[in-house]
Amino acid sequence: MRREIVVVLTAILLLAPPLGKIIPKENETNFNLTARKHNLDIQKLPNPFPLKKSSYPTKESKLLGGKTIYVPDDYPTIQEAIDHADVGDTIKVRAGIYYENIKVYKKLNIVGSGSSVTIIDGGGKGSVVTIATHGVKFTDFTVRNGDIGIKIGYCYPTSIFYSVGNMINGNNIINNKLYGIWLYGSCNTVTKNNFINNGDGIFLWEYSWCNRITRNNIINSRRGLWLIASLGNIITKNNITNNQFFGIGSGILLDYSSGNKITKNNFMNNDYGIMLLDSFGNRIARNNFIGNHVQATFDCSHFNWWFNNYWDDWKSRLPRPIKGTTHIPFTYKYIPWINFDWRPSIEPWGIRPFTFI
């Protein structure tokens, strides 16, 4: 039996194509010929690489996209449905209020019956939804009443520090004390959600990169979006409104965050529209700045490209100055500094706020 396994492994190593390519038919034929030459019945050989059912897609999930589990029909709670699901399954949650703090640690599709009628209530503590894996689709819920609405990445005790390929779509994320959504070292899509009355709307922390944050309403927070040490994110077509906190609330705060694209957003009635701290090389273009107490400011932030934004307090085609401060090297002194929007728009951009209930 040992000789048979060695022969099979040798055939795999010699004939297998590079990862990510389909095995050509001639290679598959050669593999079968090699097996027959040694009088081996492949179907009866033991598998040298057994797969754990809980960690890999089943045959059903590969061919049919997974089975569908209904809550509360099949399991009374969302967490029980997650625990009993296989990778690739879909969990459909009926309308109702579910008092849970759920943890998602498998690639699943989790779908509510409508964001206004399918509610997950965190009971005033912890993260209402924690995603500690990759490739989760989470849609059509209200997520409310936690310290954090949705937490993605940096999830002890699973020791997963980052999470990629998740989609958070079509949810109401409301009334969470600290953050509506917290992404740590992550690359995900956050689109068409309402973030209302959270401590901070969206928080990207510690090398969160290549996130796409699009078509969200981010309203009534301390900071609509707060990025710390986060690079290369795309923030576009969001409605970022009325984020105020004793004069220091902001639509977007970039803190040590560079190379982000911030385009086609509405910044309206915030304490600060955009604030940049020690952030470089960001592209800020074709946004509307309307009714903010301070439209934009910066500190020690250079080589940012401001272009073609609409400013309701600037009706000229001349470059619009953006006032800030910079640090004098080798001293503790700060001096006033100016950036420019070199070609401001004199008409607001037609950016429609996304609306749904």
Tens-digit pLDDT profile for residues 295-307: 999 999 999 999 9
Q: What are all long-range contacts of 299-302, with beta carbons under 8 Å and residues at least 24 apart?
A: 299/324, 299/325, 299/326, 299/334, 300/325, 300/326, 300/327, 301/254, 301/276, 301/277, 302/326
- Residue with structure tokens 């059509």? 140
Contact criterion met (CB below 8 Å) for 131 and 104: yes
| CA nearest to 274, candidates 260, 342, 195 | 260
| CA nearest to 273, candidates 304, 300, 244 | 244
Q: Does residue 158 have a pLDDT over 80? A: no
- List the domain boundaries for the chain: 2-44, 59-341
Q: Does residue 312 have a pLDDT over 60? A: yes
What's the burial of 330, exposed, middle or buried (CB within 10 Å: 0-12/13-18/19+)? exposed
Reported as a single tens digit per residue, the pLDDT across 171-193 is: 999 999 999 999 998 899 999 99
Reported as a single tens digit per residue, the pLDDT across 33-47 is: 444 444 444 344 344
3-state secondary structure 201-251: EEEEECCCECCEEECCEEECCCEEEEEECCECCEEECCEEECCCCCCCCEE
Helix ranges restricted to H, the chain = 2-15, 25-37, 59-64, 78-84
Mapped onto helix, strand or coil, the DSSP state of residue 79 is helix
| pLDDT score at 33 | 44
| pLDDT score at 186 | 86
C-alpha radius of gyration, the chain, whole number: 26
The pair of three-digit structure tokens given for residue 168, joined into one six-digit string = 């958070």
CA distance 35 to 15: 12
Q: What's the mean pLDDT in 251-258?
A: 94
Contact criterion met (CB below 8 Å) for 227 and 206: no
Q: What's the mean pLDDT in 308-320?
A: 96
| CA nearest to 186, candidates 154, 228, 143, 222 | 154
CA distance 103 to 111: 15
Q: What's the mean pLDDT in 153-164?
A: 68
| pLDDT score at 155 | 52
148 CB contacts (<8 Å, ≥6 apart)? 126, 127, 128, 176, 178, 179, 181, 182
| pLDDT score at 153 | 85
Write down the pTM of the prediction. 0.80
Percent of the chain with pLDDT over 70: 78
**Sign of the CA dihedral 155, 161, 166, 168?**
positive
Contact criterion met (CB below 8 Å) for 180 and 208: no
Residue 21: pLDDT band by 50, 70, 90 thresholds?
very low
137 CB contacts (<8 Å, ≥6 apart)? 108, 109, 110, 111, 166, 167, 169
| 38 half-sphere exposure, CB direction, 13 A CA radius | 18
- Residue with structure tokens 């209904």? 70
Determine the residue type at 9: L
| pLDDT score at 60 | 37
| pLDDT score at 329 | 87
Averaged pLDDT score across all residues of the chain: 84
**109 vs 18: which has the higher pLDDT:** 109
Question: Which CATH number does 59-341 carry?
Answer: 2.160.20.10
Contact criterion met (CB below 8 Å) for 134 and 115: no
140 CB contacts (<8 Å, ≥6 apart)? 111, 112, 113, 114, 115, 118, 170, 171
Q: Does residue 249 have a pLDDT over 60? A: yes
Reported as a single tens digit per residue, the pLDDT across 124-147 is: 999 999 999 999 999 999 999 999
